[in-house]
Amino acid sequence: MDFIKSRVESIRHAIAGWSHVIRTQKNAWIHAAATICVILLAIWLYLPARDWALLLMTIAIVWAAEFLNTALEIVVDLASPDLHPMAKAGKDVGAAAVLISATIAAVIGFLVMGPPLVVKMQSIFNTIKP
């Protein structure tokens, strides 16, 4: 029973961390908006399961990078409340990880959803012609 209680407590801590990121990180709102847009577009395009898997893994990587970057920033602020060049460098490297993951996610999104989107848009425009 202690095992189950400790797992439930772990989930509570994770939810508290998630809530902290959503409440305090402006970029998390950008990631949330992008996530919603990608999911809605993927639904509209009727993507196959393999494409869904790739998109969901990509979304998870971006969110994980954002969460780890936030954790890094919090720990650096705690350890070095004064401005320090190494603290800045650590934060910059964490931000770079988010930038890299988000950029590659956008490329993957275009590669996965671009072709079916073009086909869908062509079919829509072909039905509109007078």
Q: What pLDDT, on a 0 to 100 scale, did the predictor assign at position 130?
A: 66
Q: What pLDDT, on a 0 to 100 scale, did the predictor assign at position 127?
A: 83
Q: What pLDDT, on a 0 to 100 scale, did the predictor assign at position 1?
A: 78
Q: Structural domain of residue 36, as residue ranges?
A: 2-128
Q: In total, how many domains does the chain have? A: 1
Label each residue of 10-40 as H, E or C.
HHHHHHHHHHHHHHHCHHHHHHHHHHHHHHH
Is residue 96 scored above 90 in pLDDT?
Answer: yes
Higher pLDDT, 126 or 95: 95
Cα 78–69–41 angle (5° rounding)? 150
Q: Write the CATH number for 42.
A: 1.10.287.3610
Query: Can you tell me the distance from the alpha carbon of 98 to that of 78, in angstroms, rounded to the nearest whole number?
Result: 21
The pLDDT tens digits for 24-69 are 999 999 999 999 999 999 999 999 999 999 999 999 999 999 999 9
Q: What pLDDT, on a 0 to 100 scale, did the predictor assign at position 129?
A: 67
Query: Can you tell me the distance from the alpha carbon of 118 to that of 124, in angstroms, rounded to the nearest whole number?
Result: 10
| Count of CB atoms situated within 10 Å of the CB of 76 | 18
Is residue 103 scored above 70 in pLDDT?
Answer: yes
